């Protein structure tokens, strides 16, 4: 099994006036990567930020932090090159947002980024399956994308379990309502990349929360390898 436990704070939950400092604070607390939510006001009702901010952030924090871009946008093809140029490391697009995932995967790779493919709660996991061997990561949304602070949808866990059983070495990310109270369900289902917003960033002790999340996931990975 090639995958490992990785925790990515969702920076949209941080103080946006101090974003560079907040990113460095999260990395200093042990984050493995940073999850950046890009929303265009069309694919989802909310509006966040685009590649100019990513470029500024990259200059501010240096080359080390891994930027996982969650592209909640209607035309993901439009932003591949600008995001690559801005310093993004992984480009995660929604399968619902494109009619030609294969072309988009190829374009992302050619731009030098890793490829993530995301599913809204209402989309079946089978729609992602044909592309699973061409991507680096599958993202199973555990809330409706577009807003933070929603309740974790436990009924998404069968998607994670199915992906883990079918594609044992794939990175599988969960995003939405994930924190100390819900991490065990995610870990048991087979998720290894954990996006956590308010549970980490809003905590008085983010380092302890990140450590707890990672430990639970790492233990589940170890158990799975022993059970095989």
Tell me if 148 is assigned to a ligand binding site.
Answer: yes
198 is in an annotated binding site: yes
Q: Binding residue per annotation — 197?
A: yes
Q: Is 175 annotated as a binding residue?
A: yes
**67 among the known binding-site residues?**
no
| Runs of H (alpha helix) within 72-173 | 80-86, 101-110, 157-166
Q: Is 190 annotated as a binding residue?
A: no
Q: Is 149 annotated as a binding residue?
A: yes
Is 15 considered catalytic here? no
Closest to 92 (Cα-Cα) out of 144, 47, 128, 130: 128
Taking the C-alpha atoms of residue 122 and residue 66, their distance in angstroms, rounded to an integer, is 29
The yes-or-no answer on residue 37 being catalytic is yes
* 225 marked as part of a ligand binding site: no
Rounded CA-CA distance 82/108 in Å is: 11
Distance CA 26, CA 39 (A): 22
- Catalytic-role residue among 32, 40, 171, 175: 175
Give just the sign of the alpha carbon dihedral 6, 123, 189, 157.
positive
Pair 79, 73: CB distance under 8 Å: yes
- Among the listed residues 32, 37, 40, 68, the single catalytic one is 37
42 among annotated binding-site residues: no
Q: Which two tokens stand for residue 219?
A: 């233990």
User: Residues forming the annotated binding site for substrate?
Assistant: 10, 70, 146-149, 177, 197-198
User: Residues forming the annotated binding site for a divalent metal cation?
Assistant: 35, 37, 70, 175
Active site residues: 37, 175
User: Residues forming the annotated binding site?
Assistant: 10, 35, 37, 70, 146-149, 175, 177, 197-198
């Amino acid at each position: 099994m090639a995958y490992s436990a990785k925790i990515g704070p969702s920076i949209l939950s941080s103080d946006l006036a101090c974003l560079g400092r907040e990113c460095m604070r999260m990395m200093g607390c042990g984050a493995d990567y940073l999850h950046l939510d890009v929303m265009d006001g069309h694919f989802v009702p909310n509006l966040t930020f685009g590649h100019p901010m990513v470029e500024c952030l990259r200059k501010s924090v240096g080359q080390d932090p891994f930027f996982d871009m969650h592209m909640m946008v209607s035309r993901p093809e439009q932003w591949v090159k600008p995001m690559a140029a801005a310093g993004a490391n992984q480009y995660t697009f929604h399968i619902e947002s494109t009619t030609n995932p294969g072309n988009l995967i190829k374009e992302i790779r050619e731009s030098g980024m890793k490829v993530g493919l995301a599913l809204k709660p209402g989309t079946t996991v089978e729609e992602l399956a044909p592309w699973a061997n061409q991507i680096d990561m599958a993202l199973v949304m555990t809330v409706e994308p577009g807003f933070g602070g929603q309740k974790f949808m436990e009924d998404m866990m069968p998607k994670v379990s199915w992906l883990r059983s079918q594609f044992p070495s794939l990175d599988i990310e969960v995003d939405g309502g994930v924190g100390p109270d819900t991490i065990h369900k995610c870990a048991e289902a087979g998720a290894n990349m954990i996006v956590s917003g308010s549970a980490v960033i809003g905590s008085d002790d983010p380092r302890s929360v990140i450590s707890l999340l990672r430990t639970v996931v790492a233990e589940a990975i170890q158990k799975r390898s022993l059970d095989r």
